[in-house]
């Protein structure tokens, strides 16, 4: 039985990864989910697996050396899948120190604890161990509005926000541990994810939730910033593949081949919502482009991201499977089926945060 330590497993991508892995491998694997349960970590994301004998939850901060050491002591960990991170750019602009602590110091602690558990007396590492660090395309900075320009694994880092700078720093640490100690690792840099269980501070669930409530849809600047969108299950498949077949020390870019302007995303969500809502649903009358409201642009807002997944396709055979409109429709249907989940998380601390970030353009009444 292979044992996976998944950090941030109660968050958006982490919980999707756990669902995917348990669905694919069943009881032939063991998963330990380590999560601090900040505002974006939600154990409701994993209610359907919480009683499985091969799934274990540990409430811990990745910066807590004793807690993380204890996990490695209690379980013979084969893979670390390191999702845990502060990830919202707007929040990083307001609270940059928090991002440095979690994303840089937390990653350093994870590396040190894994190295301590896996290293042999001669300085080599136990066979079959690997640390997979999940990062972002934002470390590369911004691309020109040239359809032939892409981020590659060789693209120099040029982060522009406290969030992306903290992720770039953590990437560098992981690489340094490989170069210095021969530490077994891979890094994945992914494009924007979307899909089930995404916390509604992010663009797509925010727009779905606001539109259904008849609230304004805040769009930064002119709305023409371009992002490459990746359906979360496609990303989970890529991480699984990299953890098993990726060459130690290598970085793999994971892109969706779904480049869209932000305003295009918002308009697509409106169109698909109107298609999916029945004519007798009172919410349908509220869902229109009249809800779109352009707001002051974000500080340091990168213009365009686009990832070339050539390397992961050539070396490991991965390509994204879900085109954007199909993925948006699946995502909207999931939210329709899980409105209780949305209602539970769009309250309390999140409501206060939303008002602070976006003023009176509320998610809920």
**Could you give the residue numbers annotated as active site?**
137-138, 163
CB 133 within 8 A of CB 202: no
* 185-190, strands of its sheet edge to edge: 55-59, 29-35, 2-7, 79-82, 130-136, 185-190, 251-254
In the 3-class helix/strand/coil scheme, how is 275-310 assigned residue by residue? HHCCCCCHHHHHCCHHHEEEECCCCCCCCECCECCH
Count of CB atoms within 10 A of residue 223's CB?
17
Q: How far apart are CA 294 and CA 292, in angstroms?
A: 7
User: Residue 137 in contact with residue 167, Cβ under 8 Å?
Assistant: no
Are the CB atoms for 18 and 57 separated by under 8 Å? no
Sheet holding 226-231, edge to edge: 192-194, 226-231, 259-261
């Amino acid at each position: 039985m292979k044992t996976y330590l998944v950090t941030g497993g109660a968050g958006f991508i982490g919980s999707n990864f756990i669902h995917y892995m348990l669905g694919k491998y069943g009881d032939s694997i063991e998963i330990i989910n380590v999560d601090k349960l900040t505002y974006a970590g939600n154990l409701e994301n994993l209610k359907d697996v919480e009683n499985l004998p091969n799934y274990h939850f540990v409430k811990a901060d990745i910066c807590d050396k004793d807690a993380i050491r204890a996990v490695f002591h209690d379980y013979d960990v084969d893979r670390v899948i390191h999702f845990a991170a502060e990830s919202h750019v707007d929040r990083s602009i307001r609270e940059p120190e928090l991002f440095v602590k979690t994303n840089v110091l937390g990653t350093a602690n994870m590396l040190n604890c894994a190295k301590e558990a896996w290293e042999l007396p001669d300085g080599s590492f136990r066979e079959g161990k690997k640390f997979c660090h999940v990062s972002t395309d934002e470390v590369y900075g911004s691309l020109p509005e040239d359809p032939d320009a892409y981020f590659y694994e060789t693209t120099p880092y040029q982060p522009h926000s406290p969030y992306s700078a903290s992720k770039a720093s953590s990437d560098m640490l992981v690489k340094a541990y490989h170069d210095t100690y021969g530490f077994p690792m891979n890094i994945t840099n992914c494009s924007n994810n979307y899909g089930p269980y995404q916390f509604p501070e992010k663009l797509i669930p925010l727009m779905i939730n606001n539109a259904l409530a008849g609230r304004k849809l805040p769009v930064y600047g002119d709305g023409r910033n371009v992002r490459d969108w990746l359906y979360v299950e496609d990303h989970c498949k890529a991480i699984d593949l990299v953890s098993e077949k990726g060459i130690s020390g290598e970085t793999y870019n994971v892109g969706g081949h779904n480049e869209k302007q932000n305003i295009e995303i918002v308009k697509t969500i409106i169109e698909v919502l109107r298609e999916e809502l029945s004519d007798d649903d009172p919410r349908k009358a509220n869902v229109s482009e009249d809800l779109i409201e352009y707001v002051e642009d974000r500080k340091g807002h990168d213009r365009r991201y686009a990832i070339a997944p050539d390397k992961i396709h050539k070396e490991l055979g991965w390509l994204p499977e879900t085109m954007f409109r199909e993925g948006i429709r699946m995502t909207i249907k999931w939210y329709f089926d899980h409105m209780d989940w949305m209602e539970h998380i769009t309250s309390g601390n999140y409501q206060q945060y939303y008002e602070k970030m976006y003023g009176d353009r509320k998610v809920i009444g």
